[in-house]
Amino acid sequence: MISLTLFKSPRWWEEQSRYVYDNKTHRRMDFSNFDELESMLYELAKVSKKGKLDAELISPAVYQAGTTRANKNVTSWAGWCAVDIDDIEVDGELSDYVRNLVPNWRYVCYSTASSRIGKAKFRLVFELDRDVLVDEIKHFWFAIQSHLDDTGDKQCKDLSRMYYVPAKYADANNFIFSGAGDSINVSDILVKYPFIEKQRSGSFLDRLPPEMVEQVINHRKDKMQNTDIMWSGYHDCPFWPRKLALEYATISETGWYHKMYQMMVSIASRAIQKEYPISARQIAELCKQFDIENGGWYENRPIETEADRALEYAYRNT
């Protein structure tokens, strides 16, 4: 399912001489597929607006229930993403430029309020094959910008980024069009463009160059010699995170994928602490068994790829 969070138009706060943005996260819209989201964008593009401060904003971010718009409250991006493209020179038709930029991806392209004739500024909305988990968002943003050949900003400082809706903006060169193609395979693009976030903590690993980090992690892996631990399933696995599993079982709306990733990291971390050489396949099998009994949400997801990412994360941080 594809979802978005809707925010009201900004308002001017005269005492502070600045615009104040809506931070309430309860206005959500759910779509059964990308076609429905695309149709809504086309309908919005027909509405006249004075400017962007007269328009609503949308975000792919899913938030913890009852919270406000803040990075700490984001749990995932719900099946779509958007990229702003400015400051480019287009020689020929804009539609040809976009198609060459993303020859295989499905997209909706719409102009922003600052778009002008001869200086196109626009937004690309992409369909994703799955949600982007909160721990993946910064990596995913880096990956998609890398794939677009540095067209945009590679840093993702705002996990709950918002975008003005399409509209007939006054004085703007307004347009909207679509391109057929495949949804972005989130797991594949994460693998294609490796990413190591530089933490502010200044930890030992963060101060090392990438090749030395890899040596340290490989050394940690070589120390995993405790092979005497055995189990038959997740019920008797000593590394199984029972508290997180209980939380997973009580989820009723969104957040399954984020919680499952937390469970994978917890399994990996506990195994590493006991110096057991657990593999991504073992983690995936445990989680598959549990998922079958609890909704089957991971039936069509690359669970072993995500387990591998969780294992690498655990080796870096345990």
Kindly list the domain boundaries of the chain, sorted by start residue: 2-192, 205-317
pLDDT band with cut points at 50, 70 and 90 for residue 199? very low
Residue 183: its pLDDT value, please?
A: 95
Enumerate helices (H) and strands (E) in the chain, giving the number of each. 9, 15
pLDDT at position 212 over 60:
yes
Structure-block tokens of residue 112: 């922003």
pLDDT digits (tens, 9 = 90+) for 291-303: 888 877 777 677 8
pLDDT digits (tens, 9 = 90+) for 91-142: 788 999 999 999 999 999 999 999 988 888 899 999 999 999 888 898 999 8
Q: DSSP code of 303? A: H
Residue 303: its pLDDT value, please?
A: 84
**If you average pLDDT over residues 222-238, what whole number do you get?**
92
Helices 256-273, 280-292: inter-axial angle, 10-degree rounding: 140
What is the chain's mean pLDDT, rounded?
A: 86
Q: Report CA-CA distances (Å) from 91 to 95, 118, 279, 288.
A: 11, 10, 50, 50
Residue 14: its pLDDT value, please?
A: 57
Cα(267)–Cα(286) distance, integer angstroms = 9
Residue 277: its pLDDT value, please?
A: 93
pLDDT at position 251 over 90:
no
Q: What phi and psi values does residue 106 have, to the nearest 5 degrees?
A: -80, 140
Ramachandran area for residue 99 (φ above 0: left; ψ -120 to 50: alpha; else beta): alpha
Residue 205: its pLDDT value, please?
A: 58
pLDDT at position 201 over 50:
no
Contacts of 237 (CB under 8 A, 6+ apart): 231, 267, 286
Model pTM above 0.85: no
Torsion of CA 97, 102, 108, 109, to 10 degrees: -30
